[in-house]
Amino acid sequence: MKKIILIARIPLFLLIIFFLVSPIQAAVESDKKPNIVLVLMDNFGYGEIGVYGGGVIRGAPTPNIDSIAAEGFQLTNYNVEAECTPSRSALMTGRYGIRTRQRQDGPPRGVWYGITKWEITLAEMLTDHGYTTGIFGKWHLGDTKGRYPTDQGFDEWNGIPRSSDRAFWPDSNSFTPGSHPDAVFTHVMSSFRGQEPKELEVYDRAKRATIDREITDQAIDFIKRKASTKQPFFAYLPYTQTHEPVDPHPDFNGKTGNGSFADVLAQTDAYVGELLDTIDKLGLKENTIFIFTSDNGREGVPRSFGFTGPWRGSMFSPYEGSLRVPFLIRWPGKIPTKHVSNELFHQIDLFPTLASFIGADIPRDRIIDGVDQSNFLMGKTEKSARESLVIYIGNELFGVKWHNWKLLIKEMDEDGYGIKNMAYPTVYNLLVDPKEEVPELNYLNDTWVDFPLYQVMEDHELSIEEDPGTPDP
């Protein structure tokens, strides 16, 4: 009889335990922080991929990258800084590049290569909230002790510290070793948090062609390793393509029959597809934020054959072809699918937005120029939280944007480098004149827009004057 009673009680006991535990388990699941995978292209034009008018017309369809748009949110007015280092600085800190590239022994702003140790990076913010972090690719925010990625919040890194243009040097007949302490070959490097980075091999044209393959494999390995730990992870893939030189991997060289750029486009799409497949097969899809974007628009070098879509100009210019790049984000169940918006968004907004997604606070001891766009990206509002932004090239303020209007106090000549100072600033209506061909000063009925545009500029300049600058370290 006792045996019968004991057996009868077991299901009841288990049922009680189930009801006691299940609410706790549900709370744990609901509080689970999302993984983040961020793919950042290098000098990648707005019009390269299919959903932005490229793909097949660029010589290579991009079905894998396009699938992010089909399963997520596509921005057509996502803005960046006009050049690599300030763009990456803005992405990592949520602050305009002009605030972060500073040093004590020189001009106050816009001169330091990278970011100082004082800055709080996206990786550091995520680390403080339980994330493990890895970067695989191009850093370009410091190449001296204390300024490498694993000094700035990343747990591990494999990639290059500087730009891909140095890949030309080892193969150059004119290169003179020892000519200057800074005129040295870039190396592929590797490090872990707390370690000195190791130089693995010279970054030459041969390595240039294979490095994006290698960092994709490393990122996939990182994702697999971290998936098994149940700890949320941040995988940052700043690819080296399509910066000059555009050298496809041997597996893709000649594959499209449409030239090196098309080959690299097909290559990139394949690598992104591998990343997406890895996440999906590991069962991480529902809890992973996947972002695809670029640091700035197409190369200024004509032979790069980059494509800016409907926009004028290239990188290092104040025009939309420099400032607008693709931005796709996927987070199933949280971000609406097949959603396209032309609302204003800046890369500095990613820092506070991702902080909001994971329930983190942004730093309060410094100016954060980015705004929280979580409600906008999650479809809770059709309106962006941003109305305006400023445009810099180096440490020179070129203009501002407010909604669909743009004011430029300086412009570039047709060769892309000569600054023209105008007697009267130019104003463009980007909806009416997307190629910025006809300034609105010719139309007296639009002079009202001068007031909000100048107010944006005035407010920014005041904030710069009040900003004490970035301490170093």
In this predicted model, what pLDDT tens digit does every residue of 146-203 receive, in sequence order? 899 999 999 999 999 998 989 999 999 999 988 998 899 999 999 999 999 999 999 9
Q: Which of 140, 187, 243, 460 is catalytic?
A: 140
Cα gap 52→45, rounded to integer Å: 10
Give yes or no for residue 29 having a pLDDT over 50: no
DSSP state letter for 389: E
What's the pLDDT at 21?
Answer: 41
Closest by Cα among 401, 388, 242 to 319? 401
84 has catalytic annotation: yes
What's the pLDDT at 300?
Answer: 82
CATH 3.30.1120.10 segments of the chain: 389-466
- CATH topology for 389-466 is Arylsulfatase, C-terminal domain (3.30.1120)
pLDDT classification of 412: cutoffs 50, 70, 90: confident
One-letter amino acid identity for 39?
V
What's the pLDDT at 472?
Answer: 73
Give yes or no for residue 10 having a pLDDT over 50: no
Q: Is the pTM of this model over 0.75?
A: yes
Q: How far is CA 336 from CA 68, 217, 325, in A?
A: 11, 30, 20
The CB density around residue 172, as the number of other CB atoms within 10 Å, is 10
Give yes or no for residue 61 having a pLDDT over 60: yes
What's the pLDDT at 105?
Answer: 54
Beta bridge partners of 40: 238, 293
What's the pLDDT at 110?
Answer: 52
What's the pLDDT at 348?
Answer: 98
What's the pLDDT at 108?
Answer: 52
249 has catalytic annotation: no
Say yes or no: domain 32-386 is CATH 3.40.720.10. yes
Cα gap 112→100, rounded to integer Å: 8
> Residue length, the chain?
473
What's the pLDDT at 23?
Answer: 38
pLDDT tens digits, 363-405: 999 999 999 999 999 999 999 999 999 999 988 899 999 999 9
The mean pLDDT of 428-446, rounded to a whole number, is 83
The lowest-confidence range among 100-104, 114-118, 160-164 is 100-104
Element (H or E) spanning 226, and its range?
Answer: helix 205-227
Question: Given the structure tokens 């816009």, which residue do they identify?
Answer: 110
The lowest-confidence range among 142-156, 259-273, 310-324, 427-441 is 427-441
Compute the C-alpha angle 357/358/362, nearest 5°.
Answer: 90
Percent of the chain with pLDDT over 90: 76
Q: How far is CA 419 from CA 7, 84, 205, 410, 422, in A?
A: 87, 20, 33, 6, 10
Q: How many CA atoms lie within 13 A of 33 on its CB side?
A: 21
What's the pLDDT at 27?
Answer: 32
Cα gap 387→460, rounded to integer Å: 13
Q: What is the dihedral of CA 152, 156, 162, 166, to 10 degrees?
A: 170
CATH 3.40.720.10 segments of the chain: 32-386
Cα gap 239→241, rounded to integer Å: 6
The mean pLDDT of 307-324, rounded to a whole number, is 94
Give yes or no for residue 1 having a pLDDT over 70: no
Cis peptide before 473 (omega within 30 of 0): yes
